């Protein structure tokens, strides 16, 4: 009824009048088959609606050519990264297996499911696991951590120079004449510590140590909104925010309160997520170089798998400032 057995190599072989080995060769597009036969085999495969069984294929070849990716479904920036990983993986001939972390599905669970599927390497987006857990994992197969730093010799890291990112932001604002520049931070989120440090460094470098203000924030819009309300009472002329999502919340509260942006307060986000690029948000932001990061992450994973020599355990990608409409000259005075 429902399940007339799905066609296999043997079926195609029979129809084309050749051996299954030959069909296998043709399907993999390997040398070793004549042009005419090749055509006939492909025709037969097409007619039967044959699709190779990747399970059997991988079982036999011993390799899965599968990169496991753990990401947070609720993070728009993770969506951007996964998008980049897909295209990076395509170029290398590896496939991606996605495993999401949701409120009801934690990181360990997401990881185990990938391991059962025989992923050869793991790419983790901003994982919450401790360095020890990650190290244990890395002992069994290559692990690449994306967008977070990990102090462990066994795990590879690809991340943005987050401290540098905040230098860019503060330099930009200081250049516009701002002095009272606040920072809304990301708490324990991956990358938050580095950005906080970058902010402090840059302020000191500009001789603004006494104007430093760090407000507790987070990674969501509501975290930003909450922080912005604090901002209204003791008002700086500019603020750098942990990420774009959080910055959106800040913008929203400011706009509603009638505070002009960038007239009265300039705002700088982080990530250059699709959010920031929206015409009506038009957020000045520190861009993470998603294409490079994802390409590097995939390259690192495959290099480890293929035993290629790996130069540095940690690759740090420079950020780039994207100036848009939410920053402008400081109020005179």
Partner DNA sequence: CGCATCATCTGGAACGTTCCAGGGCGCACC
Partner DNA sequence: GGTGCGCCCTGGAACGTTCCAGATGATGCG
Q: Which residues bind a second copy (CB under 8 A)?
A: 1-2, 6, 49, 51-56, 58-59, 64, 73-74, 76, 79, 82-83, 86-87, 90, 95, 97-100, 102-105, 112-113, 115-118, 140-142, 220-222, 225, 249, 252-253, 255-256, 274-275, 278-281, 304, 307
**Residues ≥6 apart with Cβ < 8 Å to 200:** 212
Q: How far is the CB of 213 from a second copy (least distance, A)?
A: 21
H/E segment holding residue 205: helix 192-205
Are the beta carbons of 292 and 82 closer than 8 angstroms? no
Structural tokens at position 154: 């066994």
Least distance CB 120 / DNA (angstroms): 14
Nearer to DNA, 52 or 177 (CB): 52
What is the contact surface with DNA in residues (CB under 7 A)?
A: 5-6, 8-10, 17-22, 24-25, 27-28, 31-38, 50-53, 56-57, 59-62
220's contact among DNA, a second copy, none, with CB below 5 to 8 A by partner kind, is: a second copy
Residue with smaller CB distance to DNA, 10 or 87 = 10
Distance CA 169, CA 161 (A): 13
Q: For residues 145 and 228, which CB has a smaller minimum distance to a second copy in the complex? A: 228
Which of a second copy, DNA, none does 88 bind, CB closer than 5 to 8 A by kind? none
Four-residue CA torsion sign, 212, 254, 189, 304: negative
309-328 b/e with 16+ CB inside 10 Å = b? Answer: eeeeeebbbebebbebebbb
- Residue 111 or 174: which CB sits closer to a second copy? 111
Q: Which tokens belong to 91? A: 């170029």
Q: Yes or no: say if 199 and 140 are a contact pair by the CB < 8 Å rule.
A: no
Q: Which does 279 bind (CB under 5 to 8 A by kind): a second copy, DNA, none?
A: a second copy
Q: In this structure, are residues 319 and 109 in contact, taking their beta carbons and an 8 Å threshold?
A: no
Write down the least CB distance from residue 133 to DNA, Å. Answer: 23
Give the nearer residue to a second copy in terms of CB position, either 21 or 54.
54
* Helices H / strands E in the chain, number of each: 13, 12
Shortest reach from residue 306's CB to a second copy, in Å: 10
Tokens of residue 244, six digits = 């774009």
Minimum gap (Å) between residue 141 Cβ and DNA: 14
């Amino acid at each position: 009824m429902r399940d007339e057995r799905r066609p296999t190599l043997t079926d195609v072989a029979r129809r084309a009048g050749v051996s299954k080995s030959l069909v296998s060769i043709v399907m993999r597009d390997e040398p070793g088959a004549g042009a005419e036969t090749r055509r006939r085999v492909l025709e037969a495969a097409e007619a039967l609606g044959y699709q190779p069984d990747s399970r059997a294929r991988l079982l036999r070849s011993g390799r899965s050519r599968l990169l496991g990716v753990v990401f947070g479904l609720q993070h728009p920036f993770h969506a951007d990264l996964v998008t980049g990983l897909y295209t990076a993986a395509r170029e290398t001939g590896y496939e991606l297996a996605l495993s999401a972390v949701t409120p009801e599905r934690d990181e360990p669970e997401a990881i185990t499911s990938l391991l059962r599927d025989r992923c050869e390497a793991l790419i983790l987006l901003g994982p919450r696991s401790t360095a020890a857990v990650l190290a244990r994992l890395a002992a069994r197969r290559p692990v690449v951590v994306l967008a977070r730093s990990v102090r462990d010799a066994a795990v590879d890291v690809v991340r943005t120079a987050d401290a540098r990112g905040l230098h860019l932001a503060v330099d930009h604002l200081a250049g516009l004449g701002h002095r009272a520049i606040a920072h809304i931070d990301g708490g324990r989120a991956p990358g938050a510590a580095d950005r906080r440090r970058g902010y402090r460094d840059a302020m000191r470098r500009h001789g603004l140590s006494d104007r430093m203000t760090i407000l507790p924030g987070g990674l969501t819009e509501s975290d930003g909104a909450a922080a912005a309300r604090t901002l209204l009472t003791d008002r700086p002329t500019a603020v750098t925010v942990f990420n774009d999502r959080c910055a959106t919340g800040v913008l929203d509260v400011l706009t509603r309160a009638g505070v002009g942006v960038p007239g009265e307060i300039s705002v700088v986000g982080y990530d250059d997520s699709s959010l920031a690029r929206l015409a009506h948000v038009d957020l000045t932001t520190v861009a993470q170089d998603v294409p490079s990061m994802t390409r590097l992450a995939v390259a690192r994973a495959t290099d480890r798998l293929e035993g290629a020599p790996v130069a540095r355990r940690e690759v740090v990608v420079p950020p780039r400032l994207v100036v848009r409409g939410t920053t402008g000259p400081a109020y005179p005075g």
